């Protein structure tokens, strides 16, 4: 889990681009897709994103490992839209309780593809971006306050630690005779108790970490940066690439007549 | 920090200094008078509650402000000025290695302090390389993930980060309490080497005097500012060269829980060899904390092919280097982790109808058969009161609380029955975590590094208590690096190797 959060070993081209450029590309794609629920723009964006896999050092296997909750959520969202949306066009399946029609199927499919196309750039970004480099770029280039950025970065390390801690606390509670089985109510109580234990540990660790950071001089107004965050020509291409995918999705959907503004 | 002060040893001067934490009735430190010359190396001793950590935090400038509701009296000066205004003049290392690492790459972490002091970039990297060299971590690439370091390596990295700030004062707050013996020496030697080079002043707080005795030139013993009777007493109890202080007050220090070199605390010896009835066995066991996420996925176990037997009234000591899977093995043996291969078999004498596989037992069946004491006591606390904490086990089993009063007395926790477990001292937490598990009367007791970071008094109590349990027929499995402790319990030893295994009960 903690190893999975680092990029150790990934030498793909996009790891060398500035995180801020990659972030801008992701934002432009997401912005277009957020505007319309239709399967044409989502499919176009997805195709463009798949083409970037090699450049980001991402494989389908890694994608599933890192993004399965998002992928499942997109599939689930698509399915529920399909069966619950108002029917239009020919009815394909009717169980009495719910039904699938051509119109609802198209909407559901669009919903799922859109979910995937929005989730994928974020996964792409994280798979070729070291969090430390992202923090450097956000503080040095985007001029976000360095206390906030570095504080968040240090806290992220604790998240990985907490995943291990969760497992340990679960075992420690079983060793006290408090199992996580039984009726749903008992399970809920067990989970709440375990969460409380984790919370206590998280607060303790966080306060110790804060002391460590303060003792290393953190929190002053002036600060230098050991790693300079720089832009290169590649970053221009990255931003242009993101805008290209966004523009192509928009154009394809308008041309196919499926463009469908969510708030229109 | 200006260029002239960088790296110059710092002097400490306390005059009638006191500190009361916000919301506390009694000051943590009261009326402290102490002069430490630039370049001196001081070992700070004293019972828990004597204010050692508070003093270190104050010198590191991280104690918070008076406006938090805390109360400061007298003066505490670092080179003649208040420590809070001098970022980077003092560097502090604490006990828990996980929270001494800040960033996820080795080089970045070592550079963090220097960055905060606005050191120019080329100079930062010069310092980082030098500091990593000094602490013996220069063999790793700068992008090495810090999560892959051992505890001793993490502490040495923290030292490198401190050295890169070029501090005049190095403050170590129990820097080796969570480390195995090899890690302790690694850190001690790295501190010695770098101080020889920089000449910085050192103040170290640690129970284990033998580790630091030859590195320091002065021992200062603190005591709580108010005696139990309520009368004021001087904060410094003893002060002098190590040999003199130890000769003068060795016995008194040992009685206060300090590990005085050459003195092993008195303990109760084993009186019988146990019945030797087989209770639990590991058969060709492989262990791993990772679970396969998909069917058919293979995860290489951290340790494989372990065979061991746990017998009534006999101790089994599990030893081996860091990362050999000792704790993972203990958790698997105790029915808390599923075996990655092979099996754990409970004999009918232990299982009493619950089946042969402890991992499949219900939690309440488990605790009356196998009790596990975790390395970090806080992980096991589930209530907000010591008495409730002890009642958890008996309640689950539908038993009364007779055993609880006995355990409270036996482990000297009776005056704390109403206290919140999280507010206890380290030694009290350890005793409580053992007591809570024993309240369910398990026939097998599994302990993970029970003596880590414990003072000599708690150590002796724990060892005596376990010897007594063994004599009464309980089987005790302990993961430990503590040779004196395992010698005292006797029984079999299982040594887990670093790569594959060479096991078998000795």
Interface test with A, best of B21, B65, B99, B438 (most A CBs within 10 A): B99
Tell me, what's the pLDDT at A232? 92
> Is residue A3 a part of any domain in this protein?
no
Based on the fold, state whether residues A118 and A99 are members of the same structural domain.
Answer: yes
Residue A223 lies in a domain: no
Which pLDDT band holds residue A130 (cuts at 50, 70, 90)?
confident
Domain assignment of residue A4, yes or no: no
According to DSSP, the residues that pair with B444 across neighbouring strands are B370, B475
Instruction: Please tell me which of the candidates A5, A171, A213 has its beta carbon nearest to residue B102.
Output: A213
Shortest Cα distance, chain A CAs vs residue B335, angstroms: 9
pLDDT tens-digit profile of B117-156?
Answer: 999 999 999 999 999 999 999 999 998 989 888 888 999 9
Residues A43 and A168 in one domain: no
Q: Please, what is the average pLDDT of chain B? A: 88
Q: Are B253 and B45 in contact (CB under 8 A)?
A: yes
Same domain, A48 and A69: yes
Same domain, A38 and A104: yes
Q: In whole angstroms, give the CA distance from residue A196 to residue A188.
A: 12
Same domain, A149 and A173: yes
- Residue to mutate among B147, B162, B383, with most A CBs inside 10 A, is B147
Whether residue B408 is predicted with pLDDT greater than 60 in this model: the reply is yes
Report chain A's C-alpha Rg in angstroms: 23
Confidence of residue B504 (pLDDT cuts 50, 70, 90): very low
pLDDT digit string, tens, across residues A12-27: 888 889 999 999 999 9
From A157, A178, A213, residue closest to B104, measured CB to CB: A157
Q: What is the arithmetic mean of pLDDT over B295-309?
A: 80
Residue A264 lies in a domain: no
Q: Looking at chain A, which residue has its C-alpha nearest residue B126?
A: A226
pLDDT above 70 coverage of chain B, percent: 93
Query: B337 and A161: CB-CB below 8 Å?
Result: no
pLDDT of A245 higher than 70: yes
Domains, chain B: 12-255 (3.40.50.300), 278-290+300-495 (3.40.50.300)
Task: Report whether B213 contacts B42 (CB < 8 A).
Answer: no
Question: In chain B, what percentage of residues exceed pLDDT 90?
Answer: 56
Mean pLDDT computed over B415-429: 88
Which residue of chain B has the CA closest to A211? Answer: B62
* One domain for residues A181 and A200: yes
Instruction: Give a yes or no: residue A127 inside a domain.
Output: yes
Instruction: Average the pLDDT over A152-162 and give the result.
Output: 85
Q: Are residues A203 and A239 in the same domain?
A: no
In a domain, A261, yes or no: no
A85 and A114 fall within a common domain: yes
Q: How confident is the model at residue B500 (pLDDT cuts 50, 70, 90)?
A: very low
Residues A94 and A162 in one domain: no
Residues 6+ positions from A207 with CB-CB distance below 8 Å: none
The number of C-beta contacts closer than 8 angstroms across A and B is 168
What is the rounded distance in angstroms from the CA atom of residue B321 to the CA atom of residue B306? 16
More confident residue, B500 or B391: B391
Return the pLDDT at A35: 86
A9 has a pLDDT exceeding 70: no
Do A120 and A156 belong together in one domain?
no
- In whole angstroms, what is the distance from residue B482 CA to residue B451 CA? 7
- Residue B183 to residue B185: CA distance in whole angstroms: 5
Q: Does any domain span residue A41? A: yes
Residue range of the domain that includes A50: 10-135+231-256
Closest-CA residue of B relative to A189 is B382
**A46 and A96, same domain (yes or no):** yes
Chain B environment of A225 (Cβ under 8 Å):
115, 121
User: What pLDDT, on the 0 to 100 scale, is given for residue B498?
Assistant: 66
For residue A178, the distance in angstroms to the closest alpha carbon of chain B comes to: 6
pLDDT at position B501 over 60: no
pLDDT for position B187 = 92
User: Across all residues in chain A, what is the average pLDDT?
Assistant: 86
Q: For residues B423 and B24, what is the distance between their CA atoms, to the nearest angstrom?
A: 13
Q: Is residue A2 part of a domain?
A: no
The answer to whether residues A120 and A195 belong to one domain is: no
Interface test with A, best of B89, B102, B110, B441 (most A CBs within 10 A): B102
The ipTM value here is 0.86
d(CA A216, CA B116): 7
Of the pLDDT bands very low, low, confident and very high (cuts 50, 70, 90), residue B42 is very high
Chain segment A48-101, per-residue pLDDT in tens: 998 888 888 888 888 888 788 888 998 998 888 888 887 787 888 887 778 888
Note the pLDDT of residue B499.
47
> pTM above the 0.80 mark?
yes
Looking at the 3D structure of chain A, how many domains does it have?
Answer: 2
Which band of pLDDT confidence, cut at 50, 70 and 90, is reported for residue B227? low
Percent over 70 (pLDDT), chain A: 95
Tell me the three state secondary structure of residue B459.
Answer: helix
């Amino acid at each position: 889990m903690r190893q999975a959060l680092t990029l150790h070993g990934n030498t793909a081209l996009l790891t060398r681009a500035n995180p801020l450029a990659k972030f801008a590309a992701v934002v432009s794609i997401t912005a277009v897709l957020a505007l319309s629920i239709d399967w044409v723009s989502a499919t176009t964006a997805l195709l463009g994103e798949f083409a970037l896999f090699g450049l980001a050092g991402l494989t389908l296997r890694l994608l599933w490992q890192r993004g399965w909750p998002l992928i499942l959520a997109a599939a689930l969202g698509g399915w529920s839209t399909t069966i619950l949306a108002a029917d239009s066009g020919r009815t394909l399946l009717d169980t009495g309780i719910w039904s699938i029609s051509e119109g609802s199927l198209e909407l559901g499919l669009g919903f799922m593809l859109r979910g995937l196309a929005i989730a994928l750039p974020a996964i792409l970004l994280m798979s070729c971006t070291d969090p430390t480099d992202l923090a450097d770029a956000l503080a040095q280039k985007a001029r976000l306050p360095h206390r906030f950025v570095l504080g968040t970065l240090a806290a992220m390390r604790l998240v990985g630690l907490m995943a291990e801690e969760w497992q340990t606390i679960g075992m420690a509670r079983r060793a006290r005779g408090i199992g996580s089985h039984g009726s749903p109510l008992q399970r809920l109580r067990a989970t709440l108790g375990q969460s409380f234990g984790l919370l206590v540990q998280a607060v303790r660790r966080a306060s110790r970490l804060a002391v460590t950071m303060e003792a290393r001089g953190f929190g002053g107004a002036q600060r230098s940066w050991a790693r300079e965050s720089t832009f290169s020509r590649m970053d221009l291409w990255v931003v242009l690439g993101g805008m290209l995918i966004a523009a192509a999705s928009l154009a394809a959907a308008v041309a196919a007549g499926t463009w469908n503004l969510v708030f229109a | 920090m200006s260029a002239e002060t960088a790296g110059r040893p710092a002097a400490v001067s306390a005059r009638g200094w006191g500190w009361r934490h916000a919301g506390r009735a009694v000051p943590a430190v009261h009326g402290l008078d102490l002069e430490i010359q630039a370049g001196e190396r001081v070992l700070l001793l004293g019972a828990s509650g004597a204010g050692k950590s508070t003093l270190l935090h104050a010198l590191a400038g991280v104690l918070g402000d008076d406006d938090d509701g805390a109360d400061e009296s007298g003066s505490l000066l670092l080179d003649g000025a208040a420590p809070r205004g001098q970022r980077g003049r003092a560097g502090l290392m604490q006990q828990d290695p996980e929270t001494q690492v800040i960033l996820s790459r080795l080089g970045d972490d070592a550079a963090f302090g220097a960055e905060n002091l606005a050191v120019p970039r080329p100079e930062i990297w010069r310092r980082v390389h030098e500091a990593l060299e000094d602490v013996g971590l220069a063999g790793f690439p700068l992008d090495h993930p810090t999560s892959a370091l051992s505890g001793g390596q993490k502490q040495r990295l923290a030292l490198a980060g401190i050295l890169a700030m070029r501090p005049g004062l190095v403050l170590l707050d129990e820097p080796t309490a969570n480390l195995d013996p090899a890690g302790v020496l690694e850190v001690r030697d790295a501190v010695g080497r770098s101080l020889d080079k920089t000449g910085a002043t050192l103040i170290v707080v640690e129970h284990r005097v033998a580790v630091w005795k030859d590195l320091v030139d002065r021992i200062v013993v603190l005591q709580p500012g108010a005696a139990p009777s309520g009368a004021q007493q001087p904060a410094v109890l003893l002060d002098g060269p190590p040999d003199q202080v130890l000769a003068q007050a060795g016995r008194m220090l040992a009685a206060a829980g300090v590990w005085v070199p050459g003195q092993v605390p008195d303990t109760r010896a084993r009186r019988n060899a146990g019945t030797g009835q087989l209770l639990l066995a590991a058969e060709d066991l492989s262990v791993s904390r990772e679970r396969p996420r998909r069917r058919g996925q293979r995860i290489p176990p951290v340790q494989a092919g372990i065979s061991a037997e746990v017998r009534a009234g006999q101790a089994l000591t599990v030893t081996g280097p860091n990362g050999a899977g000792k704790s993972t093995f203990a958790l698997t043996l105790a029915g808390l982790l599923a075996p990655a291969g092979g099996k754990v078999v409970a004999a009918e004498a232990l299982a009493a109808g619950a089946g042969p596989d402890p991992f499949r037992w219900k939690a309440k069946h488990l605790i009356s058969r196998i009790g596990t004491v975790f390395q970090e006591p806080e992980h096991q606390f589930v209530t907000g009161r010591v008495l409730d904490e002890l009642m958890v086990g008996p309640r689950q089993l539908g038993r009364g609380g007779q055993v609880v009063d006995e355990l409270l007395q036996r482990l000297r926790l009776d005056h704390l029955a109403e206290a919140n477990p999280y507010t206890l001292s380290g030694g009290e937490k350890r005793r409580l975590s053992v007591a809570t598990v024993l309240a369910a009367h398990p026939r097998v007791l599994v302990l993970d590094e029970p003596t880590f970071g414990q003072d000599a008094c708690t150590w002796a109590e724990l060892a005596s208590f376990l010897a007594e349990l063994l004599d009464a027929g309980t089987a005790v499995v302990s993961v430990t690096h503590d040779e004196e402790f395992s010698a005292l319990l006797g029984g079999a030893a299982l040594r887990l190797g670093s790569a594959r295994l060479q096991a078998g009960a000795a």
